[in-house]
């Protein structure tokens, strides 16, 4: 074989580079034949893109500032990966609804799905048949025409909740999580929270991991999947050791209660629930098809528990914070409840007669959204939109916080004000419903939102009927200021705060004590 001179090597390298550049140029022109520009965004540098500009803490607030500079559609790259952030309902509707066939996929979530074991949760699955099968199973048990069958469970959990608040009001955060976990455990697995406290604790741990790793790029392995091969013991690989712990706990959350229901069904002790309904018509022939279908149904049940036990926790906790900060709103809602209920505890049949309370529930969803940045979608193919080019594989994220705090639609958006949803004492249909952003977008909107809404209604109405929520007092008897701050992460919760929760009257206290008999 003839040897190559340095000059020959340089020429050969130039040809290879030229061929690579030409291929990339041709590919780009093929995908972007009109040579349209990318949407505007922050300054980009070679290789790293906008790495130094991309926000790392409460990104929704920084993106909201960007919208005022670049418009309601901002594009940037980080290490070659494109991000498109949408900041208005109009953009989100165009992209996620009208062009849903191209924008319903999810990114490859390396840390979350491949390392932490969240691939059983259909919210993070890639768009396709596998996702549709999971969502269909879930939807069959949580669509708006069937969730009313869970109302007795939700009422019962709310009444246990107010009794627990009476006994130890300082533990209100614990009681919130306990009550909401109880209702979804009973609905999904036919079990009480008392016998599954360790399961709830595992779920809290894995959800904390979700909050930390849920946004693409939260960990570098999302950008550089080759990092998966780094051994656990390698210096700086703490992220991988954390992933291993989360993966182990996730396997418990996704499998343990499903297996318990199977054992109880065999013993004849299982209570009717979603899991038993799914298992009853599942063929047990040990075939690959049956095993695959069981995987789908098991995942759908775990999805139900995780969504119902956690999303609403943030909403209810924010409600407690809002009532302590806005006593006039609290008094107005209580007056409506007193008029309608006449000295009894609420039922779901009362809801049509409680317009102000319904407005308060909408404001609870809007004021401090659980998902201030919705889970990222991904463009399946290159697209042209409104004079811009959107490359294939772009991560597209709707900024729910910006939509729900748009002063054009919600005057004084940082203020908790249920009256914004009312006109002449009734819900005003012309006011934008927070549901357009609070539960995701397009085909990936959360199908558990109807159960969550019912849980929120039941919990809030019971609390307001029998309790006053007030700020804590310092040693001098002055109210301690509560700041409405929220945590960072995919799931956002109110930062730690304390409040006083006291019975409104002796009659209210008696209602609470009698509630355990209902």
**Domains annotated on the chain, with CATH:** 32-515 (1.10.630.10)
Residue 355 has a pLDDT of 98
The whole-model pTM stands at 0.89
Cα angle 280, 283, 285; round to 5: 140
Q: Cα angle vertex 426, ends 423, 431, to 5°?
A: 55
pLDDT at 517: 47
The residue among 381, 390, 380 whose CA lies nearest residue 37 is: 390
Q: What is the pLDDT along the chain (518 residues), one digit of tens a residue?
A: 445 455 545 555 555 445 444 444 455 566 788 899 999 999 999 999 998 999 989 999 999 999 999 999 999 999 999 999 999 999 999 999 999 999 999 998 899 899 998 888 888 999 999 999 999 999 999 999 999 999 999 999 999 999 999 999 999 999 999 899 899 999 999 988 877 778 888 888 888 888 888 777 788 888 888 888 888 888 888 888 988 998 998 888 888 899 999 999 999 999 999 999 999 988 777 788 888 999 999 999 988 888 776 778 999 999 999 999 999 999 999 999 999 999 899 999 999 999 999 999 999 999 999 999 989 999 999 999 999 999 999 999 999 999 999 999 999 999 999 999 999 999 999 999 999 999 999 999 999 999 999 999 999 999 999 999 999 998 888 999 999 999 998 889 999 999 999 999 888 888 888 875 44
Strands 377-378, 395-398: pairing kind = antiparallel
Structure token digits, residue 446:
């959360």
Label residues 188-223 b or e (16+ Cβ within 10 Å = b). bbbbebeebeebbebbbebbebbbbbbbbbbbebbe
Tokens of 59: 């990104």
Q: Report the candidate in 181, 141, 454 with the shortest Cα–Cα distance to residue 276.
A: 141
Supply the pLDDT for residue 21: 45
pLDDT at 253 (0 to 100): 86
In this prediction, residue 5 carries a pLDDT of 56
Was 446 annotated as part of a binding site? yes
> What CA–CA distance (Å, rounded) separates 420 from 368?
16
pLDDT score of 23? 41
Cα–Cα separations (whole angstroms), residue 107 to 72, 93, 222, 382, 393: 22, 20, 9, 15, 8
> φ and ψ at 470, to 5 degrees?
-135, 160
Reported for 46-55, long-range contacts at CB under 8 A and 24+ positions apart, including other chains, are 47/79, 47/80, 48/78, 48/79, 49/76, 49/77, 49/78, 49/79, 49/80, 49/81, 50/76, 50/77, 50/78, 51/78, 51/79, 54/78, 54/83, 54/217
């Amino acid at each position: 074989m003839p040897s190559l001179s340095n000059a020959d090597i340089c020429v050969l390298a130039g040809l290879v580079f030229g061929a690579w550049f030409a291929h990339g140029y041709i590919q780009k022109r093929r995908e972007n034949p009109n040579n349209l520009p990318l949407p505007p965004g922050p300054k980009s540098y070679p290789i790293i893109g906008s790495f130094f500009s991309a926000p790392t803490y409460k990104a929704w607030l920084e993106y909201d500032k960007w919208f005022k500079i670049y418009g309601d559609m901002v594009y940037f790259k980080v290490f070659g990966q494109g991000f498109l952030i949408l900041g208005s309902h109009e953009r989100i509707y165009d992209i996620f609804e009208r062009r849903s066939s191209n924008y319903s996929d999810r990114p490859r979530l390396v840390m979350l799905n491949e390392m932490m074991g969240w691939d059983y949760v259909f919210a993070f699955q890639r768009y396709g048949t596998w996702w549709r099968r999971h969502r269909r199973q879930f939807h069959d048990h949580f669509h708006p025409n069937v969730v009313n069958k869970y109302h007795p469970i939700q009422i019962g959990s709310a009444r246990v909740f107010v009794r627990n608040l009476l006994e130890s009001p300082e533990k209100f955060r614990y009681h919130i999580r306990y009550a909401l976990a109880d209702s979804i455990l009973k609905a999904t697995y036919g079990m009480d929270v008392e016998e599954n406290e360790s399961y709830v604790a595992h779920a809290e741990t894995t959800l904390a991991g979700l909050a930390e790793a849920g946004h693409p790029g939260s960990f570098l392995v999302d950008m550089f999947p080759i990092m998966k091969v780094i051994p656990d013991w390698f210096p700086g690989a703490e992220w991988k050791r954390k992933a291993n712990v989360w993966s182990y706990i996730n396997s418990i959350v996704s499998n343990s209660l499903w297996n318990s229901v199977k054992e109880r069904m065999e013993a004849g002790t299982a209570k009717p629930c979603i899991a038993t309904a799914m298992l009853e018509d599942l063929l047990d022939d040990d075939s690959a098809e049956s095993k695959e279908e069981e995987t789908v149904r098991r995942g759908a049940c775990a999805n139900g528990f995780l969504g119902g036990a956690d999303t609403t926790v943030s909403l209810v906790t924010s409600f407690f914070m809002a009532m302590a900060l806005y006593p006039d709103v609290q008094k107005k809602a209580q007056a409506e409840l007193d008029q309608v209920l006449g000295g009894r505890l609420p039922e779901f049949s009362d809801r049509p007669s409680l317009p102000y309370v319904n407005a308060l529930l909408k404001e609870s969803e809007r004021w401090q959204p659980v998902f201030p940045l919705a889970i990222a979608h991904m463009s399946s193919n290159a697209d042209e939109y409104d004079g811009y080019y959107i490359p294939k594989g772009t991560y597209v994220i709707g900024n729910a916080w910006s939509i729900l705090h748009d002063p054009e639609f919600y005057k004084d958006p940082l203020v908790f004000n249920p009256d914004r949803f009312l006109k002449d004492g009734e819900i005003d249909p012309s006011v934008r419903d927070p549901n357009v952003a609070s539960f995701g977008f397009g085909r990936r909107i959360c199908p558990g939102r109807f159960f969550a809404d019912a849980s929120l209604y039941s919990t809030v109405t019971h609390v307001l009927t029998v309790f006053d929520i007030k700020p804590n007092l310092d040693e001098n008897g002055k109210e301690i200021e509560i700041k409405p701050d929220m945590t960072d992460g995919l799931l956002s919760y109110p930062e730690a705060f304390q409040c006083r929760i006291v019975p409104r009257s002796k009659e209210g206290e008696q209602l609470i004590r009698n509630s355990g008999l209902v």
